């Protein structure tokens, strides 16, 4: 599994090169943030993957759609948008998560791509309410669930832990400048081994965020995962 905030979806060639390089290459599912429709399509086409993209709003800086995408070489059976409560201060920008059922190795996996409002756009309480909206939707799903993305927070991860999710990326360190904002939460899957999670800092620099990856093993009800 991989999550990658591609800053404003602008450096697509660099992002594609990073996603083709170890340890990100061969991912079963990828969550992308700060994308627009053409950018999501270009990366999916470059990787030979299926994808779903849902815009949340139009960004005032780029004047393009601004949303999240889910990419996979496996069949994507269904998808939907989860509207997140509140809008950012000043520009009043809305956010949304994307949920999709991905059939990995013949087994259904429910996967979310998430991008919560920034600390400057909304206080911690606002991001907590947005995280709760994603958690509520995820808890309504049967079988293994992965929630991945840019949470613009580290502390919000405690809310996932309190609702029964594992937090394998809790101690991965900095993912955006000095901050640990990009994370993966799971229910119904186990890490393949203790070292099977990390921040990919060795590839081309495509963003102000580094990609985050995790490898999961076949578990109680889940598929056998590569990153």
* Structure confidence at residue 148 (pLDDT): 98
How confident is the model over 12-34, as pLDDT tens digits?
Answer: 999 999 999 999 999 999 999 99
Secondary structure letter of residue 98 according to DSSP:
E
Does a structural domain hold residue 35? yes
Sign of the Cα pseudo-torsion (73, 132, 212, 15, in order): positive
Does a structural domain hold residue 137? yes
CA–CA distance, 17 with 24 (Å, rounded to integer): 10
CA–CA distance, 130 with 6 (Å, rounded to integer): 21
CA nearest 29: which of 206, 193, 189? Answer: 189
Does a structural domain hold residue 226? no
Using alpha carbons, list the distances in angstroms from residue 101 to 12, 41, 145, 164, 177: 25, 19, 9, 20, 32
Does a structural domain hold residue 170? yes
Q: CATH number of the domain that 47 lies in?
A: 3.60.10.10
Does a structural domain hold residue 225? no
Does a structural domain hold residue 31? yes
How confident is the model over 145-186, as pLDDT tens digits?
Answer: 999 999 999 999 999 999 999 999 999 999 999 999 999 999
The H-assigned helical ranges of 63-171 are: 124-139, 157-162
Q: What percent of the chain has pLDDT over 70?
A: 87
Say how many domains are in the chain: 1
Give, in degrees to the nearest 5, the angle at Cα 42 between 38 and 48: 140
CA–CA distance, 46 with 88 (Å, rounded to integer): 33
Average pLDDT, stretch 193-197? 82
3-class secondary structure per residue, 15-48: HHHHHCCCCCCCCCCEEEEEECHHHHHHHHHHHC
pLDDT band for position 59 (cuts 50, 70, 90): low
Does a structural domain hold residue 223? no
CA–CA distance, 56 with 72 (Å, rounded to integer): 21
pLDDT band for position 225 (cuts 50, 70, 90): very low
Residue 184's domain comprises: 2-217
Q: Which residues, in sequence order, are CB contacts of 196 under 8 Å at separation 6+?
A: 168, 214, 215, 216
Does a structural domain hold residue 227? no
């Amino acid at each position: 599994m991989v999550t990658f905030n591609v800053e404003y979806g602008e450096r697509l060639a660099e992002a594609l090169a990073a996603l083709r390089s170890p340890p990100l290459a061969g991912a079963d599912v990828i969550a992308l943030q700060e994308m627009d429709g053409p950018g999501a399509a270009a990366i999916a086409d470059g990787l030979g993957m299926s994808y779903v993209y849902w815009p949340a709003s139009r960004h005032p800086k780029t004047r393009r759609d601004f949303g999240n995408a889910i990419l996979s070489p496996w069949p994507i059976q269904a998808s939907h948008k989860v509207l997140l409560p509140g809008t950012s201060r000043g520009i009043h920008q809305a956010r949304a998560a994307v949920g999709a059922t991905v059939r990995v190795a013949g087994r259904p996996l429910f996967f979310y791509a998430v991008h919560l409002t920034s600390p400057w756009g909304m206080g911690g309480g606002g991001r907590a309410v947005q995280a709760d909206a994603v958690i509520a939707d995820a808890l309504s799903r049967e079988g293994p669930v992965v929630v991945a993305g840019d949470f613009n927070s580290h502390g919000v991860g405690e809310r996932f832990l309190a609702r029964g999710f594992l937090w394998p990326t809790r101690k991965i360190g900095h993912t955006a400048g000095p901050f640990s904002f990009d994370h993966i939460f799971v229910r119904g899957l186990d890490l393949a081994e203790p070292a099977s999670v990390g921040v990919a800092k060795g590839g081309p620099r495509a963003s102000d965020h580094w990609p985050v990856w995790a490898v999961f093993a076949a578990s109680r009800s889940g598929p056998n995962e590569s990153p």
